Structure 1
Amino acid sequence: MPIPVSRRDLIALSMAAPLAASGSPAVLRGAGPRVVVVGAGAFGGWTALMLRRAGADVTLVDAWGPGHARASSSGETRVIRGTYGDRAIYTTMAARAMRLWQAHDAQAGRHFFHKTGAIWIFSGDESFGESSVAPMRAAGLPIEWLDPAQARARWPHMAFEGVTRVLWEPEAGYALARRACEHVVETLIAEGGRYVVGAVPPVSADTPISSLTLAGGETLQADRFVFACGPWLGTVLPDVVGTRVRPSRQESFYFGTPAGDTRWLPPGMPVWLDYGARLYYGIPGNAHRGFKVADDSYGATFDPTHGDRAHTPEMLAEARAFLRRRFPALADAPLLGSEVCQYELTSDSHFLIDRHPRAANAWIVGGGSGHGFKMGPALGEYVARLVLEQGQTAPEFRLAHR
């Protein structure tokens, strides 16, 4: 019988995943179902690992490799935060993800999650911040309002002119994106999973799927399938997803800070998000690549396979103008590099997690919409439980809502 999943019991469902109390994986080596997961990004990689830890025989497939340059999970860093306005289901999932990131780091002896704290900078409309407070506190995540004078005292190298209030989220931070994706796949293999490099052609199914034949000719047979193809979800499942997930072109810039100047590194600099007419954000240190400045506004539709990934002069000029206004000491900082990635957007920015409407043994997982990476381990738990127990997903995530 299907297991209904509501906002309230999402966290309980995630907590049921098989992690031992010590934080080490409790791999169940029974005769679990064979599962093929397509896509080794944050969603697919973590789902594959959690399925394996629950006893499934898992094969993970990716066309280019975990954290590759075309992927939405590529690049050096991604923000981890719990503020989501009144979308409490995501705050709950983010709180669980933070705990799982920390457990993964402890078990691996690595440092993928960097807890720097995060500040939300408001210049008028504070409704998003106000509606975030109750869900944050309900999820056990501390949060604090600061006035501009208090913010200036903590971060004197930032300019707060025109700012009305600042929201401080001390448990937030960032994850090392590309490196984490690679390590999840390495962990999957070490724990008995299989990883295959291969391209999956478009899939059309009117009945349960028994196998996938890769572009190179190899056939993968399984009992259940998970399609977590990121920006390629619509091309792999054209008749079911199609344009319901739209890849958008997003530009990021990396500026050089003065030699030896630690003001721009943690703990002197947190993750920051400037909630104005446009949402700009940045990550301190950014794995030593430079001071990151990115516009979160949704860009034009983008081809993730063949699209040109050179930045545009217009977006660079806008990033510099913002840098001059909010970080005046870096107004003339040299450009060290740029990156063009993509979001995979749904119509309402909710995730897409649902059973294939005609192939009952297949699940569709995607629509990260620019905020999904942080959720990787918690979402992997969630999807693994749904796949193995044939559960029913939360209403917000269903295909019918797109």
Structure 2
Amino acid sequence: MTSTGLTKESPIIIVGAGVFGLSSAHHLSQAGYKNITVFDKQPYADNAYSTTDGADAASADFNKCMRMSYGEEIDYQRLAFDGIKTWNAWNDEIRSSKSEDLPRGLKPSDLIWNNCGFLRMSIDGQLSAIERATLANLTREGLRETQFVLGDPEDEKRAKSHLRKGEWEKKSDPFGRKRQGKDLVGVFDSTAGFVEASKACIWVMHLCRRNGVRFVLGEKDGQVATFIKDANDKTVGMRTKSGTEYHSKLLILAAGGWTPSLYPAVSSLLETTAGSVAYIQLPPKDQAPDLWDKFSPENFPVYAYGGWSKGHGIGGFPRTEDGIVKIGYRGFKYTNYEDVKDPITGQIHRISVPRTKYWPKPYDPSITKQAVAAIKEVVNEAMPELTAIGITGCRNCWYIDSLDNGFLIDRVPDDNGMLVCSGGSGHGFKFLPVLGREVVEIIEKPEAKNAYGKLWRWRTKEAGPKNGLEQGETGPRNWKKQVMATKEDWKFRETSRL
């Protein structure tokens, strides 16, 4: 029994079947907890986390960046490296499984983690302070040999002997900057790459079910209507939209971008924001074999073009197995303030909430002109062979940002019955294999917080920048102030180099 009276037989409710909820359920079940139920309003058992079939949480996606580069934040660096062992083991288990033993949406040939490398490329001719801090911390941990600084003769020599034949030449300069006489400055991280997010979620849901975790999914049966409180204002369960009540000894709120609207008291710490994503669908492979080859994970890395959240704010990925090149813009994170009714008190709050392709009602999504302009600028400069195709699709990916980009995993003050597990801030997915392990530690030893318990505690930030949360509805990121791009804006006017 934990110090809060939780036993291995106690009913545990998890609200949210994204990366934080799945990882929590997986590790709790591995730790011997036998009465775990995960709720989510999205029918993931039917759509297999497919964004084209109705899944719209941030965790449902083609791919997410797997990076170990965290500047001064060495605890995140260590946790990311720790997770690699499990990602590799999951790849091996899937590869060795029979098709009939895998869940819908997975096949034995799938790699849910792809070690294609990560090019952290500078566009101002010098390594940034965060890059230098990353290299210092990796050196401190004995991992410097996994990083290759562009332009460093010793690193380049080492890269050519340690990486696959031809890999350094292709992945250190995928945009042909040397050929154009431009500076080539940055770092190639050989430990990094991408994870196939939707398939990884399918896999961990499968592992959870195998361990006895129950899932209640769907708009009525899986969606929270309100939380149930006892006479002491402690959370003791929830009621779904269908009217069914479920009682809990502990309720874990892991609802991603929907967390503040379900529990408005957390809105001073967490804010729902949208990153912009554009897709470029390559022509069929037999019509454009050179493009399929160039943008394959074997020949093309995950990249940050001057940094994910500064400068251009652009990052991207190799093509998918279906030939989709995904490019993300995170230089400006948008908010969408609406009236939200507190499900417990009935009070109305103005809170940023998701507005996805499917929720609150289906619509044809568009991203901002600002995002399209930034993406087109980089494509024109770095990948001109894609301009003849143009942008073929888009998505607003609604994350949940914390005030300092750190996660929030802690019990609600004065309410031992609820633990908030959220605040992924656009970098949480890589921790799917190990995050839940730390959640179990936080649950079982709340008084003796380890490094992650301290890092993710309930907190406030009284002064200084607050990751945009201080701007509120009147700030420049408000969705309703933006000009949205049309499909005409997706087209490139430049001459094709195909």
TM interval, shorter chain, is 0.7 to 0.9
Equivalence for 1:251: 276
Alignment partner of 1:272 out of 300, 303, 311: 303
**Counterparts of residues 3-402 of structure 1 (less than 5 Å):** 31-56=8-33, 57-66=35-44, 67=49, 69-109=55-95, 110-124=110-124, 126-139=128-141, 141=143, 142-147=146-151, 153-155=169-171, 157-160=174-177, 162-163=182-183, 165-197=185-217, 198-203=222-227, 207-239=233-265, 241-257=266-282, 259-261=288-290, 262-275=293-306, 277-302=311-336, 303-304=353-354, 305-306=359-360, 309-390=365-446, 392=449, 394-402=453-461
User: How big is each residue's C-alpha offset from its partner over 1:92-119, in whole Å with a ceiling of 9 and x where there is no partner?
Assistant: 1111122221222223335211110111
Question: d(CA) in 2 for partners of 1:298 and 1:375?
Answer: 24
Equivalence for 1:14: none
Moved more, 55-64 or 272-281: 272-281
Structure 1 residue 345, shift from structure 2 partner: 0.9
Quick check: 1:46–1:376 contact (8 Å CA) kept in 2? yes
Distance 1:278 1:399, change over 3 A: farther
Quick check: 2:228–2:236 contact (8 Å CA) kept in 1? no
> Match of 1:143, as an amino acid?
Q
Could you say which structure has the larger radius of gyration? 2
Quick check: 1:349–1:369 contact (8 Å CA) kept in 2? yes
SS at the partner of 1:296? strand
User: How big is each residue's C-alpha offset from its partner over 1:250-292, in whole Å with a ceiling of 9 and x where there is no partner?
Assistant: 2111224462120111211011111251321111023424112
Structure 1 residue 164, shift from structure 2 partner: 5.1
Distance 1:49 1:275, change over 3 A: same
- Ranges in structure 1 where 5+ consecutive residues have no aligned partner: 4-29
Quick check: 1:352–1:399 contact (8 Å CA) kept in 2? yes
CA RMSD of aligned residues (A): 2.7
Question: d(CA) in 2 for partners of 1:283 and 1:80?
Answer: 11
SS at the partner of 2:379? helix
Structure 1 residue 311, shift from structure 2 partner: 2.5
Structure 1 residue 210, shift from structure 2 partner: 2.1
Moved more, 71-80 or 241-250: 241-250
Quick check: 2:226–2:240 contact (8 Å CA) kept in 1? no
Normalized against structure 1, the TM-score is what?
0.85
Equivalence for 1:17: none
Question: d(CA) in 2 for partners of 1:99 and 1:137?
Answer: 20
- Ranges in structure 2 where 5+ consecutive residues have no aligned partner: 96-109, 157-166, 337-352, 462-498
Question: d(CA) in 1 for partners of 2:142 and 2:9?
Answer: 35
User: How big is each residue's C-alpha offset from its partner over 1:55-102, in whole Å with a ceiling of 9 and x where there is no partner?
Assistant: 112111111144363211122111111001111111011111222212
Question: d(CA) in 2 for partners of 1:257 and 1:64?
Answer: 30
Structure 1 residue 162, shift from structure 2 partner: 4.6
User: How big is each residue's C-alpha offset from its partner over 1:345-390, in whole Å with a ceiling of 9 and x where there is no partner?
Assistant: 1111111111111211321111111111111221111102222344
Question: d(CA) in 2 for partners of 1:65 and 1:385?
Answer: 30
SS at the partner of 1:369? coil
> Match of 2:327, as an amino acid?
V
Task: State percent identity of aligned pairs.
Answer: 23
User: How big is each residue's C-alpha offset from its partner over 1:196-249, in whole Å with a ceiling of 9 and x where there is no partner?
Assistant: 12111344855432221212122222222211110111111112x024211112
> Match of 1:147, as an amino acid?
G
> Match of 2:460, as an amino acid?
H
Structure 1 residue 153, shift from structure 2 partner: 3.7
Equivalence for 2:496: none
Question: d(CA) in 2 for partners of 1:318 and 1:377?
Answer: 33
User: How big is each residue's C-alpha offset from its partner over 1:315-353, in whole Å with a ceiling of 9 and x where there is no partner?
Assistant: 223312211112233233333322111121111111111
Question: d(CA) in 1 for partners of 2:61 and 2:303?
Answer: 18
Question: d(CA) in 1 for partners of 2:273 and 2:147?
Answer: 31
Quick check: 2:14–2:25 contact (8 Å CA) kept in 1? yes
Quick check: 1:290–1:336 contact (8 Å CA) kept in 2? no
Distance 1:383 1:352, change over 3 A: same
Equivalence for 2:162: none
Question: d(CA) in 2 for partners of 1:230 and 1:397?
Answer: 15
SS at the partner of 1:210? strand
Quick check: 1:137–1:143 contact (8 Å CA) kept in 2? no
